[in-house]
Chains A and B, each alone.
Chain A
């Protein structure tokens, strides 16, 4: 891994108590969860679709995607742009924006649950917490029914 410093802005979020992060540069909106339209046949990972200023956003349930227990507190929706399409990630809460350095990122340790292996870019050790940087592209692909 390169030792040169590569500053990185990450949006922290929580799902089922665990701290995760997404790169802030792909985030287009952070909003309260709105009611989605359920899409039949779409599988558990897709919460539905919703309207964001005239664009259709496909909302992905992070809780289900990350294989965690159903959370009743999914109050926030982080909308990201991926391949010219908008995807929303439902999470419990949004924490803050973290200024980190890519050089400090470690690979997702194998001890972590297997289900997170493919979905995280890496892991950051923060004071008193661990944050898994989510790979949004993989999450979107993995939600494909």
Chain B
């Protein structure tokens, strides 16, 4: 017999027994709504499985019983004893069919029309004569073969000691925790209760502890490595692995039925549906797997049944004929995230509103005020369905409430996103609380904590002498990592530990962590290593502490907390993490349009800014430590005297936040004292140079405020982007200043080149791209020379030159290419497009001499 059928039989037999009891109690409490819902769900599960297995007699019988039950649920009729008897007779009929399937392996031939007709009669005559059907039903029940005897025999075989887990609440869970041994002798597998596995795991953990103690005392007696102890040790480890492995299963095991389900739905409804499955081999705890299996089935079914439209409708909506249902699973920072997505018709907030109103779930005013997202969540209410037709597959509103109940039972969440006409996406996040995970053990305040390894992206040691170090930006610790700006959370501070922080000077570790879309670093003082841990849920009264995902018992018997990276991110308000990351991305994109600017205040209330990448550190200097040597303000810094500059008067604070700049080549450093450093923002920099005073390149609008942009060259007092050869500067002194248009989409280069060229005596206009340049041309502006970058996003420099040379009145203006790519071929290409010269971006003096040559040539030509 098919494994699936064998499993179905066991489950159904258990389910039917529970259903009998539940129905009988319904007879005495016909108003018991939760009980009714429970019966309905259980029957629905049975029906669904029958449909999938192609057991049409069973399915029809279950469907008619369900239809009758639905009448009670809708409030159309009250559950009378006669109705209950009818339903029970339907259950008996199902039993007899199952007994027959069990002995023969297939559904027997036969006719159920008598039973179905009698129930249908009861449904049709619902209001006036429900009792009329009763005699029929009794007759029929009597006429059915006596099925009680074989059933009892079967139950005895499959009986298995109930686990000590609490009594399950729904049919779905019932099939999980009530265990049974498969009677199929051909199979090499046993169905073992989760409770037993759980107990085994607890016992193994105990054994590990005992083993560790024995090993320890063995060491104390200096009989290191006595053979029996070693043997015990390895056996225990193997046993532990075995038990843990026994609990893990690839999630694909729960999906095996889905292609068939989709196929059947597609056939029945003349739809074309493609099922895409991603991440089948994601390993998931057995218990979790069992608990999400049925919810997933409901959701996949719903997607195919309600979501995907018929081919004609899809074509009319401009979509491909074949709809796609995508099921995917992935680990995400210690969670297992499962998404069920379809590209169907989506959900209509308007219809859900109407339905919710009809059901009395909310008032019209409330619904009006509700955002669509919230309205969507009504589909998780019991008995809620917007399907216009009730099919055998779904549409009775069973399912989504069960789905949510089951997922929340294991501490998970389910989110729904839907766009009308575009499709729906369910995102299920299951916490790791039931899983066994690999964790990084860290220590702070003499206590250990575990961090799910899955959330750890990298581990960085930071100390005074390492290239990476912790800095402060706007009161927040940050770290620069390969051009990214990483917000940091100090574990010690997060945990509000009383013991003194071991000092910032102490070497520390930054654990780069990913929580959903947020990347940040956790600062810890000690990293102990990795260990496989058994996750135990937090006690219910501690569950609301957001920073822990659970706890675990270590090998030495101590209980430690498991940190929850997502919870920490939320708690520590890494609100700007996203933005910081954007900023960082901007920095790394080889200094493209977006530039990351550090905002600070000095001298007056006008915000000042400087590109963040120029700053090597932000230091807090005691004012008392600042000295005056030979008229210069200096401070002892890393064993040297570092010059400090102030903008305007020296700040009067006791502690002065100082931006430290250092030259990568010469190692020379200097500081600029500020009143306060308050933010780092990513901006598209448009520097206005007019009216800039010494020390500033110009000003720009940053975060809605006019901000002065610092000119580092002014303060650096060293070579570099500074005009050193007076000859360069004075060349055109006697002539009108040459007008240069600088086209470069890199804010960095614009930032560096503009003051540089200004100082060389040119009148520089800057634009961030060819389009801006061409609009200047249209506006009637004129220049003596154009310097253009080659690699630009909106239009490359070659195309720009071609356009200028062929289509504009600027065709006679000489153009100089500035590129980081400087091969003979590149040059050749540049010249062919109309550039007069080609300069490597890094070669500053070449640029100046080239400019000079080009101007001289132009002069010569004119003469």
Contacts and interface: CB of A to CB of B under 8 A. Distances in A.
Given A46-B542, A56-B553, A145-B542, A39 B561 contact: yes
Interface in A6-57: 36-42, 46, 49-51, 53-56
A41 B547 contact: yes
B127 interface: no
A144 B544 contact: yes
A76 B27 CA distance: 52
B790 to A, nearest CB: 55
Interface stretch (B256-264, B533-541, B720-728): B533-541
Contacts of A58: 539, 541-542
B171 to A, nearest CB: 22
B545 A42 contact: yes
A51 B557 contact: yes
B205 A144 contact: no
Interface centre among B541, B558, B560 (most CB of A within 10 A): B541
Contacts of B862: none
A102 interface: no
A54 B539 contact: no
A87 B538 CA distance: 12
B497 A42 contact: no
Contacts of B540: 83, 85
Nearest to B546: A41
B539 to A, nearest CB: 4
A45 B16 CA distance: 47
A54 B541 contact: no
Interface string A124-145: 0000000000000000110111
A84 interface: yes
Contacts of B466: none
Contact of A50 (B202, B495, B559): B559
Given A49-B539, A144-B544, A41 B202 contact: no
- Most chain-A Cβ atoms within 10 A of its Cβ — which of B494, B496, B558? B558
B542 A51 contact: no
B166 interface: yes
B856 interface: no
B541 A41 contact: no
B551 A145 contact: no
Contacts of A46: 541-542
Interface in A72-110: 83-85, 87
B497 A84 contact: no
A2 B641 CA distance: 88
B544 A145 contact: yes
30 contacts: A37-B559, A37-B560, A39-B561, A40-B495, A40-B496, A41-B496, A41-B547, A42-B542, A46-B542, A49-B539, A49-B551, A49-B559, A49-B561, A50-B559, A51-B553, A51-B557, A54-B202, A54-B203, A54-B209, A55-B202, A56-B553, A56-B559, A58-B539, A84-B166, A85-B539, A141-B541, A144-B541, A144-B544, A145-B541, A145-B542
Given A41-B496, A46-B541, A54-B202, 19 more contacts: A39-B561, A40-B495, A40-B497, A40-B561, A41-B547, A46-B542, A49-B539, A49-B542, A49-B561, A51-B557, A51-B558, A51-B559, A53-B202, A54-B203, A55-B202, A56-B551, A56-B553, A84-B166, A145-B542
